[in-house]
Amino acid sequence: MLPKADSRLLQIVDAALADATQRSGDWLVCRPGCTQCCIGPFPISQLDAARLQAGLSELTRNDPACAARVRQRASESVQRLTPAFPGNPQTGILAEDDAAQSAFDDFANDEPCPALDPGTGTCDLYAHRPITCREFGPPVRIEDEGPNAFSVCELCFQGATPEEVAACEMIPDPAGLEPELISQLEAAGRRGQIIVAFALK
C-alpha cells in the first residue's frame, strides 16, 4: 500500500529537480532516449517498490498491452538475475552483509531496467519511477565525503569545475520525508531493499 504522502514527496523531489535543471543549463545532457542510468540494477526502497507496483496497476488499466510487456521484461530479467542474486531470490530482498554488498557492485551491470522500453529508450513507468531515478543527473551531495563530493551522471558536467558543479547542487528531500514514509512501510512489515525487476515480477 502506497502511503498517501508519497505524492507530496514526489512534488518536493520533482521541484528540486526542475530547479537544479534550470541552474545546470547545458551542463545537464539528460534527454528522452538517453538510457545511461537505466542499465544495471540498483537498490530501491520498499516505498519505491510500492510506487512502481501502483504504477504498473494503473498502466494495466490504461494500456494493458504495455503493462504486459513490462511484466514480461521483468519476469525475464528475474530469471537471468536469480542465479547470482546477492540476496533472497524468492523475495528479491538484497542481503545487507559486506560480502553481498561487495558482490552487488559487480552484479548484472549490463542488465536493462524492465521498465525501459527498448524501442523508444523511455520509461514505461516514468511517473512512478524510484527516487534514485528522479535525482540522477544533477549533482547530489554524497554525505560524509567532503563539501565538494557529489554524485553526478558521468555524461553530464563534462569540463565543469568543482565550483560549477556545486552551484547546481540538487537537494532532493530537504525535510527528510522519504525516510519517514519508508519507516511507515517497515512498521507494516515491508523491510529491506529490492531491485526493480523483483518489484515488478
Domain ranges of the chain: 6-200
**The C-alpha cell that represents 93 in the structure block:** 530482498
The per-residue pLDDT for range 67-89, each reduced to its tens digit, is: 999 999 999 999 999 999 999 99
Round the average pLDDT of the chain to a whole number and report it: 94
Q: pTM of the prediction?
A: 0.93
Give Cα separations from 36 to 15, 26, 153, 154 (angstroms). 22, 17, 8, 9
Task: Encode pLDDT of 92-109 as tens digits.
Answer: 999 999 999 899 988 999
What's CA 100's distance to the chain center, in Å?
Answer: 20
Average pLDDT on 167-173 reads 95
pLDDT of 5 reads 97
Contact 154, 128 (CB under 8 A): no
